[in-house]
C-alpha cells in the first residue's frame, strides 16, 4: 500500500516511539525471559494452527485506554428521556478470542477443525452431527462435547474470561488460581532507582528467578541452583543492596518476595500439577496415588470423597525446598531460602485449589461412567428384531405372560399355570416365539422354569420395577429390551433419577441373599448382587448433584440413539414412543409427518418439513432411521443423508465398481451391503481416495452388523457371567498366540489375557509365563495385561535403612528382604524383588521405596495400631493366656502379636485346651483366604464357622 506524505510522517514518529518503549520494556533480564516464553508460545501456536497472532506487547506499551478516563470525569452525562428498551439477546459469533480460548483448552484438536466445528455449533448444529454428519473432523463424543461445553463457558463467564485475557492465558484451569487474591501486599519501599529487591537478588542468582524455579518444578529436578557463600549474611547483603542505614525486618522482606513469586500464575499452576502427579490420597486407611483413583472405586471410599474425608499425602515443603536451594553446603542463605518457601506456602492456599481440581476429576470420572452405563444399556441391552416377544415372571405357581410386538404394543396378556405345558406351547406357537424373556424371579422359581425345557434369557429389572405395577411388569420387561432408549426417556420425563436407582442395587449390603447354588447363579443372571469388595466407577456418580446426573444421563441417551437410531415409523405407531422426541434435537412430529402411515425414505421428511421453522432436518437426520421394507438401505444405518454419496461411492469402490447414480444404488452394491464383507482387507483398496477414506468408519457401519452374544444385558454383566471376576493380580498362563505386535495368553483355560509385545524379549507359542492383569476388555470378553519378565536385580536401589524398616540382602542367598520393625524385638521379614526397576512384593508392584512406604508399610502400621486398640488385644502371650484362663465366659478369646511367627496376630481361644490360630498382618487382615478390615469383623466371621 502507498502512503501519503502525512501518513509517512505519522508512521516514522510511531516507529521511533515504539522503539523507545521497547528499549524500556526490555531493561531487565527477568522480563526478557518472560517475554521470550510468550513469543515461543505464540510461535508454537502459529506453527500448529496457522492462525494470525496479534501483538501481545501493544497493551503493555500503549495501555488499555483506561488511563485517559480522567479526561472525561467532569463531563456531565447526557440525560436520555426515552423509555428503556428491552435488552437484545446477544448474537453469538465466532471470533479470534473465542478460538484462542478453545485452542488453549484443546491442544489435541487442529485449528481448522476447531474453527469449522465452532461455526457449526454456533449455527445450531448438535454435537452428534459433528460425529456422524462430519466424520472428516475425526472427533469422538467426549471431545465434541468438550468443545460444546467450552463454547458455553466462554459466553456465560465473561468476567472470568476477561481476567484470563489479562494474564494472557486462556486455559480455564487458571480460573481458580486467579479467582481469589492471595495474602499479598505492595511493598513500594523496596523500589530504588526503578530496580526492586527481587530483581537484584535474582540477577545475582542469590535466588533463582520465577522461570527457573518453575522449570525445576515442572521437571521435578533441580536443573537450576542459586549461588551461595558460606559466610554471607542475607540481612546485611539486603541492607547494602537497598542502600539502607539499617536492615529491614526479615518478615517484611519475606512477605515482599513471596508476593513476587506468587504473582506468576504459571508458577502456582506448576506447584498444583507437581502435587497431582506425585501425591497420595489416604482414605479409610487405604493409600493410593491420584492416578490410581479409578482402580480404587470402592463404595466406602467414594462416600469419604463425597464428605471430603480424605488426606493428601505429599511433603510439598520438603520438595520445594529441594528444588529452590543450593544443597552443596549449609549456609545462612539456604536458611533464608527455606523461610521464603515457608512464607510462599503460607500465602498460597494450594490445598483448596488442589481439592477443587480433584473434585473436577471425580466429576469427570462420574459423567464418563454414567455415559458408559447408559449407552451400554441402550446399545448392548437390546435384543434382535422379532415380530413378537414374550415376557414372563413367576407368581406362586402361575406364569404371567405378556406378548409384545416389535413396536412395544401389548398384543396379549395371559396367566398360565406353570404345569400347563400345552397352553404355554400353544401360546408360543401362535406368535412364533422360540424363547422367553424372564425377570423378577427367585432361584426357586427359576428351577420351576427350568423344568419347562424352554430357551430363555434373563432381563435385568433394576429399573423396570420402579415404574411397573403387577399387571404391566412383564409388558415393560419386553419394552426394556426392544426399546431401552424409549423406556429410559419415559422414566426421565416422569422425573425419575435413573442413576440413583441403579446405584441402590449396587451399593454393598450384607442382607442381599445370593442364589443357592453356582448353577442357579449362572442361570438366573443374578448379576446385580453387589460384591462388597468390588469396584465400580458408577459409584463416583454419588459425587454429582441430581441436576448433573440428569444432564449426564440425557447426553448419554442422546449419543446412544445417534448410534442405534430411532425408527420414524415407530414414533408414528405408538404414543408412548414419543417420549424419545425430547432427545432428538431439531425434531418434532409435525402435521405433515403425522399424515404418513409409513415413511420409507428419510428424504421425504426433509421435503415435507422444508417450510417449518422449528424443524431442523440436519440435526434430526442424525438420529432418525427408516426400517420399513421399502426403505433405502442406507436409511437403516448411522450415516447422515448428506453423506450418502460417499457411502455409495465407497461401497462401489470396494467391489471394483464405479457408482454413477448418487440417488439409487446399483444392484451389485446393494447385494454387497446386504451380505457384508471383510472390512479390514477391503478398506485397504480405497485408502488412497481421501474423500472416501475420511468417511469410511461410518460407512462401515453398514457391514457385518452383529448383536452381542448375550442379548438383553449390558456388556459388563455379560462379562461377569461368561468370564468371571478376577482381581488384577499375577497368574501363570501359556502363550497361545504370538504375533509381532501382540500375544494372547491363556490362563488355565479360564480366560485370555491380551498383551502388547515389548520387543525386549522373544516369546514362543506354548511357553509358560507369568502375566499380570491390568484391565478388563469387556467388549471382547478378555483381559489386558503384561508379562512379568525374567528378574533383573539392581542391588544398589534396594539398599535402604530407615527408622521402621530396612532392606538388605540375605546372608544365606542373593535374595533381598525387607525387615519391618513391628515393635521392639519383632522384625517382620518379607522377600522382595526388583523387576524392571519396580519393587515386587506380595504380588504387587511399587515404583520406588517412597511408594512402598505409602502404600504398604504405612497402611500396615495403621492396621497394627487399629488392632491393638481392640479390648482383648494383649502385649504378650502370657497376658493373653492368663486372660482366657481366668475369664468367666464359657468360651473366651484374646489376641497378641506373635514373636514366633513375625507378621502374624495370634487368635487365642480356650475350649478344652488353649487353641491358637494365626491372622496375617498386611494393610488388611488375612485369614483362610478371606480379607477383614478389623478384628471385630474377623470375630463375627469366626463365630459363624
Contact 608, 590 (CB under 8 A): yes
> How much is the pLDDT for 527?
35
Distance CA 923, CA 322 (A): 31
Concatenate the DSSP letters of all residues of 499-525 into one string.
HHHHHHHHS--TT----SSHHHHHHHT
The phi and psi torsions of 711 (rounded to 5 degrees) equal -65, 150
Distance CA 72, CA 74 (A): 6
Question: Nearest Cα to 539, choosing from 335, 350, 293, 261?
Answer: 293
Distance CA 354, CA 349 (A): 9
> How much is the pLDDT for 132?
82
Distance CA 458, CA 391 (A): 10
Question: Nearest Cα to 278, choosing from 270, 399, 128, 938?
Answer: 270
> How much is the pLDDT for 551?
93
Question: Nearest Cα to 133, choosing from 638, 828, 685, 820?
Answer: 638
State CA 664 to chain mean position distance: 44
Give the rounded percent of residues in the chain with a pLDDT score beyond 90: 21
Contact 399, 392 (CB under 8 A): yes
Sign (positive/negative) of CA torsion 812, 814, 815, 818? positive
State CA 841 to chain mean position distance: 29
Note the residue count of the chain. Answer: 945
- Buried/exposed 448-474: b ≥16 CB within 10 Å, e otherwise: ebeebebebbbbbbbbbeeebeeebbb
Residue 440 Rama label (left phi>0; alpha psi -120 to 50; beta): left
Distance CA 795, CA 816 (A): 9
Question: Nearest Cα to 874, choosing from 847, 844, 899?
Answer: 899
Assign 417 to helix, strand or coil.
Answer: strand
Q: In what order do the strands lie in the sheet with 904-910?
A: 873-874, 892-897, 904-910, 914-921, 925-927, 930-932
Distance CA 30, CA 485 (A): 60
The tally of CA atoms less than 13 A away on the side-chain side of residue 492 is: 26
Distance CA 406, CA 570 (A): 9
> How much is the pLDDT for 725?
59
Contact 139, 113 (CB under 8 A): yes
For residue 212 the three cell numbers come to 527457573
Q: Diameter of the chain by CA atoms?
A: 117
Contact 304, 317 (CB under 8 A): no
Contacts of 125 (CB under 8 A, 6+ apart): 133, 618, 619
Q: What is the DSSP letter of 539?
A: G
Contacts of 665 (CB under 8 A, 6+ apart): 632, 633, 634, 648, 659, 673
For residue 668 the three cell numbers come to 451389485
Sign (positive/negative) of CA torsion 139, 142, 145, 150? negative
Q: Does domain 870-943 have CATH number 3.30.420.40?
A: no
Helices 265-278, 350-379: inter-axial angle, 10-degree rounding = 60
Question: Dihedral (C-alpha) 25, 27, 31, 33: value to the nearest 10 degrees?
Answer: 120
CB neighbours (10 Å) of residue 208?
Answer: 24
> How much is the pLDDT for 656?
64
* Cα→Cα distances 901→108, 778, 812, 918, 932, Å: 56, 42, 19, 9, 20
CA 589-590-594 angle, 5° bins: 75
Question: Nearest Cα to 180, choosing from 318, 397, 348?
Answer: 348
CA 131-136-138 angle, 5° bins: 60
Sign (positive/negative) of CA torsion 309, 313, 318, 319? negative
Question: Nearest Cα to 460, choosing from 515, 405, 502?
Answer: 502
CATH number for region 795-866: 3.30.505.10
Could you tell me which residues are beta bridge partners of residue 733? 769
* Cα→Cα distances 340→333, 334, 611, Å: 10, 10, 70
| Type and span of the H or E element at 426 | helix 421-430
| Type and span of the H or E element at 185 | none
Assign 627 to helix, strand or coil.
Answer: coil
CA 843-846-847 angle, 5° bins: 150
Query: Which of 3.40.50.10860, 3.40.50.1100, 3.40.50.2000, 3.30.420.140 would CATH assign to domain 372-541?
Result: 3.30.420.140
Owner of C-alpha cell 433405502: 632
> How much is the pLDDT for 32?
41
The tally of CA atoms less than 13 A away on the side-chain side of residue 294 is: 12
In terms of Cβ atoms closer than 10 Å to its own Cβ (0-12, 13-18, 19+), residue 822 is buried
Distance CA 320, CA 272 (A): 12
Q: Which superfamily does CATH assign the domain made up of 723-787 to? A: Nucleic acid-binding proteins (2.40.50.140)
Q: Checking DSSP bridges between strand 435-438 and strand 388-395, what pairing results, if any?
A: parallel
Contact 304, 310 (CB under 8 A): yes
> How much is the pLDDT for 709?
34
Predicted TM-score (pTM) of this structure: 0.67
Distance CA 861, CA 897 (A): 13
Distance CA 296, CA 290 (A): 10
> How much is the pLDDT for 694?
43
CB neighbours (10 Å) of residue 166?
Answer: 11
* Cα→Cα distances 478→393, 410, 460, 669, Å: 12, 10, 11, 36
List of the chain residues with pLDDT < 70: 1-90, 179-195, 230-231, 243-248, 328-329, 443-444, 508-534, 650-728, 740-741, 749-750, 758-761, 777-781, 789-800, 811-813
Amino acid at each position: 500500500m502507498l502512503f501519503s506524505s502525512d501518513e509517512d510522517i505519522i508512521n516514522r514518529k510511531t516507529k521511533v516511539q515504539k522503539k523507545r518503549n521497547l528499549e524500556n520494556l526490555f531493561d531487565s533480564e527477568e522480563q526478557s525471559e518472560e517475554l521470550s516464553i510468550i513469543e515461543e508460545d505464540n510461535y508454537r501456536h502459529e506453527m500448529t494452527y496457522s492462525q494470525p497472532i496479534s501483538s501481545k506487547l501493544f497493551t503493555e506499551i500503549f495501555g488499555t485506554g483506561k488511563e485517559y478516563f480522567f479526561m472525561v470525569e467532569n463531563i456531565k452525562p447526557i440525560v436520555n428521556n426515552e423509555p428503556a428498551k428491552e435488552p437484545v439477546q446477544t448474537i453469538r459469533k465466532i471470533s479470534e478470542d473465542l478460538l484462542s480460548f478453545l485452542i488453549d483448552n484443546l491442544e489435541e484438536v487442529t485449528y481448522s477443525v476447531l474453527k469449522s466445528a465452532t461455526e457449526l455449533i454456533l449455527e445450531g448444529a448438535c454435537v452428534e452431527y459433528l460425529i456422524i454428519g462430519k466424520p472428516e473432523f475425526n472427533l469422538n463424543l467426549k471431545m465434541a462435547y468438550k468443545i460444546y461445553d467450552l463454547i458455553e463457558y466462554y459466553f456465560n463467564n465473561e468476567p472470568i474470561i476477561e481476567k484470563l485475557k489479562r494474564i494472557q492465558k486462556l486455559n480455564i484451569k487458571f480460573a481458580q488460581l486467579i479467582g481469589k487474591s492471595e495474602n499479598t501486599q505492595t511493598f513500594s519501599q523496596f523500589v530504588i532507582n526503578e530496580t526492586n529487591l527481587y530483581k537484584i537478588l535474582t540477577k545475582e542468582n542469590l535466588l533463582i528467578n520465577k522461570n527457573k524455579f518453575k522449570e525445576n518444578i515442572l521437571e521435578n529436578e533441580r536443573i537450576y541452583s542459586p549461588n551461595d557463600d558460606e559466610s554471607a549474611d542475607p540481612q546485611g547483603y539486603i541492607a547494602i543492596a537497598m542502600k539502607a542505614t539499617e536492615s529491614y525486618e526479615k518478615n517484611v522482606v519475606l512477605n515482599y518476595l513471596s508476593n513476587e513469586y506468587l504473582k506468576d500464575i504459571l508458577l502456582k499452576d506448576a506447584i498444583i500439577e507437581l502435587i497431582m502427579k506425585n501425591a497420595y490420597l489416604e482414605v479409610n486407611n487405604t493409600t493410593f496415588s491420584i492416578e490410581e483413583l479409578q482402580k480404587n472405586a470402592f463404595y466406602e471410599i467414594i462416600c469419604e470423597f463425597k464428605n471430603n474425608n480424605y488426606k493428601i499425602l505429599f511433603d510439598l515443603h520438603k520438595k520445594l525446598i529441594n528444588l529452590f536451594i543450593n544443597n552443596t553446603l549449609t549456609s545462612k542463605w539456604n536458611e533464608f531460602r527455606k523461610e521464603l518457601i515457608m512464607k510462599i506456602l503460607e500465602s498460597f492456599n494450594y490445598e483448596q485449589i488442589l481439592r477443587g481440581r480433584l473434585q473436577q476429576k471425580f466429576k469427570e470420572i462420574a459423567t464418563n461412567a454414567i455415559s458408559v452405563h447408559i449407552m451400554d444399556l441402550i446399545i448392548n441391552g437390546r435384543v434382535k428384531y422379532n415380530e413378537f416377544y414374550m415376557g414372563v415372571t413367576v407368581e406362586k405357581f402361575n406364569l404371567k405372560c405378556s406378548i409384545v410386538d416389535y413396536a412395544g404394543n401389548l398384543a396379549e396378556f395371559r396367566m398360565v399355570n406353570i404345569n400347563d405345558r400345552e397352553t404355554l406351547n400353544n401360546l408360543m406357537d401362535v406368535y412364533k416365539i422360540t424363547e422367553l424373556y424372564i425377570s423378577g424371579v427367585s432361584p426357586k422359581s427359576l428351577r420351576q422354569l427350568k423344568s419347562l425345557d424352554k430357551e430363555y434369557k434373563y432381563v435385568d429389572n433394576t429399573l423396570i420395577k420402579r415404574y411397573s405395577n403387577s399387571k404391566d411388569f412383564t409388558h415393560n420387561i419386553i419394552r426394556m429390551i426392544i426399546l431401552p432408549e424409549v423406556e429410559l426417556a419415559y422414566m426421565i420425563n416422569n422425573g425419575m433419577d435413573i442413576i440413583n436407582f441403579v446405584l441402590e442395587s449396587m451399593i454393598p449390603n450384607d442382607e442381599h441373599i445370593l442364589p443357592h447354588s453356582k448353577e442357579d447363579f449362572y442361570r438366573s443372571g443374578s448379576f446385580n448382587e453387589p460384591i462388597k469388595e468390588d469396584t465400580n466407577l458408577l459409584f463416583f456418580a454419588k459425587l454429582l448433584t441430581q441436576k448433573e446426573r440428569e444432564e449426564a444421563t440425557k447426553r448419554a441417551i442422546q449419543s446412544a440413539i445417534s448410534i442405534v437410531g430411532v425408527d420414524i415409523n415407530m414414533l408414528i405407531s405408538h404414543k408412548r414412543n414419543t417420549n424419545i422426541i425430547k432427545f432428538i434435537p431439531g425434531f418434532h412430529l409435525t402435521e405433515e409427518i403425522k399424515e404418513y402411515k409409513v415413511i420409507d425414505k428419510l428424504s421425504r421428511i426433509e421435503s415435507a418439513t422444508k417450510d417449518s421453522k422449528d424443524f431442523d432436518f440436519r440435526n434430526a437426520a442424525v438420529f432418525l432411521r427408516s426400517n420399513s421394507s421399502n426403505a433405502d438401505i442406507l436409511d437403516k444405518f448411522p450415516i447422515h443423508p448428506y453423506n450418502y454419496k460417499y457411502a455409495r461411492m465407497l461401497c462401489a469402490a470396494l467391489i471394483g465398481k464405479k457408482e454413477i447414480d448418487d440417488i439409487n444404488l446399483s444392484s451389485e452394491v446393494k447385494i454387497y451391503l446386504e451380505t457384508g464383507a471383510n472390512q479390514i482387507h477391503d478398506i485397504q483398496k480405497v485408502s488412497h481416495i481421501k474423500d472416501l477414506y475420511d468417511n469410511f468408519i461410518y460407512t462401515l457401519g453398514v457391514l457385518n452388523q452383529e448383536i452381542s452374544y448375550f442379548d438383553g444385558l449390558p456388556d459388563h454383566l455379560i462379562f461377569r457371567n461368561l468370564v468371571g471376576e478376577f482381581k488384577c493380580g499375577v497368574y501363570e498362563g501359556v502363550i497361545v498366540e504370538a504375533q509381532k505386535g501382540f500375544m494372547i495368553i491363556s490362563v488355565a483355560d479360564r480366560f485370555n489375557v491380551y498383551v502388547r509385545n515389548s520387543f525386549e524379549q522373544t516369546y514362543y507359542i506354548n511357553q509358560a509365563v507369568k502375566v499380570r492383569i491390568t484391565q478388563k476388555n469387556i467388549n471382547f470378553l478378555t483381559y489386558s495385561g503384561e508379562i512379568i519378565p525374567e528378574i533383573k536385580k539392581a542391588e544398589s536401589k534396594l539398599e535402604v535403612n530407615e527408622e521402621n524398616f530396612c532392606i538388605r540382602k540375605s546372608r544365606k542367598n542373593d535374595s533381598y528382604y525387607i525387615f519391618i520393625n513391628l515393635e521392639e524385638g519383632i522384625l517382620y521379614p518379607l522377600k522382595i524383588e526388583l523387576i524392571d526397576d519396580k519393587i515386587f512384593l506380595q504380588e504387587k508392584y511399587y515404583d520406588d521405596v517412597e511408594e512402598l512406604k505409602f502404600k504398604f508399610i504405612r497402611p500396615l502400621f495403621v492396621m497394627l495400631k487399629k488392632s491393638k486398640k481392640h479390648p482383648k488385644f494383649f502385649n504378650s502371650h502370657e497376658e493373653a493366656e492368663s486372660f482366657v484362663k481366668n475369664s468367666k465366659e464359657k468360651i473366651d478369646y484374646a489376641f497378641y502379636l506373635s514373636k514366633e511367627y513375625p507378621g502374624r496376630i495370634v487368635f487365642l481361644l480356650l475350649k478344652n485346651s488353649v487353641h491358637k490360630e494365626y491372622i496375617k498382618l498386611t494393610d488388611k487382615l488375612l485369614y483362610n483366604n478371606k480379607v477383614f478390615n478389623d478384628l471385630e469383623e474377623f470375630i463375627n466371621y469366626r463365630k459363624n464357622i
